[in-house]
Structure 1
Amino acid sequence: MKSRYKRLALVGGSIVLVALAIALVLSVFRSNLVFFYTPSQVASGEAPANTSFRIGGMVAEGSLERQADGLTVHFVVTDTVKDIQVSYQGILPDLFKEGKGVVAQGALDADGRFIASNVLAKHDENYMPPEAAEALKRAKATETGQAAHEAGDNS
Structure 2
Amino acid sequence: MRAKRKRRLIIVIGLVALVAVAVGLTLYALRANINLFFTPSQIAAGEAPHGRTMRIGGVVKKDSVDRNSDSLEVTFVVTDFAKDVEVRYDDILPDLFREGQGVVVIGQLDEDGEFIAQQVLAKHDETYMPPEVAEALKATGNLPDGSVPSS
Partner of 2:20: 19
Q: Unpaired segments of 5 or more residues in structure 1?
A: 142-155
TM-score normalized with structure 1 length: 0.79
CA offset at residue 104 of structure 1?
0.9
Query: Does residue 1:55 correspond to 2:56, yes or no?
Result: yes
Instruction: Specify which structure has the higher proportion of strand.
Output: 2
In the alignment, structure 2 segments of 5+ residues that lack a partner are 143-151
Q: Aligned partner of 1:89: which letter?
A: D
Q: Paired residue for 2:135?
A: 134
| Residue in structure 2 matched with residue 94 of structure 1 by the alignment | 95
Q: For residues 14 and 90 of structure 1, what CA distance do their matches in structure 2 show?
A: 49
Deviates more, 1:7-16 or 1:74-83: 7-16
Q: Does 1:107 align with 2:103?
A: no
Residues in 2 aligned to 1:136 and 1:17: alpha-carbon distance in whole angstroms:
45
Cα distance in 1 for residues equivalent to 2:31 and 2:20: 16
Aligned to 2:76: 75
Distance in 1 between the 2:14 and 2:45 partners?
49
Q: Aligned residues, how many?
A: 141
Q: Which residue is equivalent to 1:145?
A: none
How far did residue 3 of structure 1 move? 4.4
- The structure that is helix-richer by fraction is 1
Residue type of the partner of 2:140?
A
Match of 2:141, SS? helix
Verify the 8 A CA contact 2:60 2:79 in the aligned structure 1.
yes
**Counterpart position of 1:29:** 30
Identity of aligned residues (%): 55
- Asked if the contact 1:81/1:140 (under 8 Å) is kept, the reply is no
- Answer whether contact 1:36 1:53 (CA < 8 A) is retained: yes
- TM-score, normalized by length of structure 2? 0.81
Alpha carbon RMSD of aligned pairs, Å?
2.0
